């Protein structure tokens, strides 16, 4: 009986593809990259470390791209995101093959929670700008009209507010899961113990 056989792992590749050729044009990572590159970090008050001493820091935009990717793909810990940077072709393209460790990813999330929330709320503003949702209130009498608009596709001021609240709730839920997976409370407790020990010794 014959089976489909894989390629020899030790065989050299004559014409290797670039990462950009491997990622399809409609892949979500291209949208994430375009969206994050289009925003001004200063407008959202991201914590940007500009010290020239020591090892250079990762750019906040790169870490934000990773966070957004993790949110969209239900990746539940910084350690998992760290692994994805080394094995996931989509993330390797998105991060330009950067691979921050889980502590860097976790610290970015904790230090920029409010800024990240503002970025996610911006998506609603962008949708309004491109007329994907409307911000006007429309009233009508009892006249029956045929239209292609359903209740799901119809947005008014109340629905937009509800959608913003839904975004906030989802972000809270995702941050809570990440916080538990990254053992944020444990780090806080250990830091507190360390300070108390130093005071005792001093």
Give which of 201, 64, 158, 178 is closest to 120, Cα–Cα: 64
Question: Does 144 fall in a domain?
Answer: no
Q: Over range 70-99, report the average pLDDT.
A: 95
**Confidence at residue 155, expressed as pLDDT on a 0 to 100 scale:** 56
**Confidence at residue 162, expressed as pLDDT on a 0 to 100 scale:** 78
Length of the chain: 202
Q: Mean pLDDT, the chain, as a whole number?
A: 81
Chain mean position to CA 5:
38
Better pLDDT: 91 or 167: 91
Q: Over range 129-155, report the average pLDDT.
A: 55
pLDDT of 31 higher than 80 = yes
Half-sphere exposure of 155 (CA within 13 A, CB side): 15
Gap between the terminal Cα atoms of the chain: 77
Question: Does 142 fall in a domain?
Answer: no
Residue-number span of the structural domain to which 43 is assigned:
19-134+154-201
Question: Does 41 fall in a domain?
Answer: yes
Lowest mean pLDDT among 80-89, 124-133, 140-149, 190-199: 140-149
CA 148-142-132 angle, to 5 degrees, is 30
Question: Does 139 fall in a domain?
Answer: no
Question: Does 147 fall in a domain?
Answer: no
Question: Does 110 fall in a domain?
Answer: yes
Give the model's confidence band at 84: pLDDT under 50 very low, under 70 low, under 90 confident, else very high.
very high
**Confidence at residue 17, expressed as pLDDT on a 0 to 100 scale:** 79
Give which of 129, 127, 123, 149 is closest to 138, Cα–Cα: 149
Question: Does 77 fall in a domain?
Answer: yes
Chain mean position to CA 88:
15
Contact 103, 137 (CB under 8 A): no
Query: Could you tell me the two tokens for 36?
Result: 């994050």
Task: Domain count for the chain, please give it.
Answer: 1
Question: Does 35 fall in a domain?
Answer: yes
**Confidence at residue 168, expressed as pLDDT on a 0 to 100 scale:** 81
Query: Could you tell me the two tokens for 157?
Result: 């001021």
**Confidence at residue 187, expressed as pLDDT on a 0 to 100 scale:** 60
pLDDT in tens, 57-66: 999 999 999 9
60-72 helix and 102-111 helix, angle to the nearest 10 degrees? 90
Give the model's confidence band at 26: pLDDT under 50 very low, under 70 low, under 90 confident, else very high.
very high
Compute the distance between CA of residue 8 and CA of residue 158 in angstroms, rounded to an integer.
59
Give the model's confidence band at 136: pLDDT under 50 very low, under 70 low, under 90 confident, else very high.
low
pTM: 0.68
**Confidence at residue 37, expressed as pLDDT on a 0 to 100 scale:** 95
């Amino acid at each position: 009986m014959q089976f489909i056989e894989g390629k020899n792992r030790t065989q050299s590749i004559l014409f290797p593809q670039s990462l950009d050729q491997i990622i399809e044009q409609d892949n979500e990572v291209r949208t994430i990259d375009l969206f994050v590159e289009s925003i001004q970090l200063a407008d959202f008050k991201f914590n940007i470390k500009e010290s020239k001493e020591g090892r250079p820091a990762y750019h906040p935009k790169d870490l934000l791209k990773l966070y957004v990717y993790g949110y969209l793909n239900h990746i539940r810990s910084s350690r998992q995101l760290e692994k994805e940077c080394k094995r996931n072709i989509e993330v390797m393209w998105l991060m330009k093959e950067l691979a921050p460790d889980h502590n860097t990813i976790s610290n970015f999330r904790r230090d920029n929670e409010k800024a990240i929330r503002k970025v996610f709320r911006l998506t609603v503003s962008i949708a309004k700008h491109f007329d994907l949702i409307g911000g006007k209130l429309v009233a009508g009498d009892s006249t029956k009209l045929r239209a292609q608009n359903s209740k799901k596709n119809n947005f008014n001021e109340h629905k937009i507010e509800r959608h913003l609240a839904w975004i906030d709730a989802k972000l809270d839920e995702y941050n809570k899961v990440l916080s538990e997976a990254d053992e944020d409370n444990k780090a806080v407790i250990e830091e507190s113990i360390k300070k108390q020990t130093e005071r005792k010794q001093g």
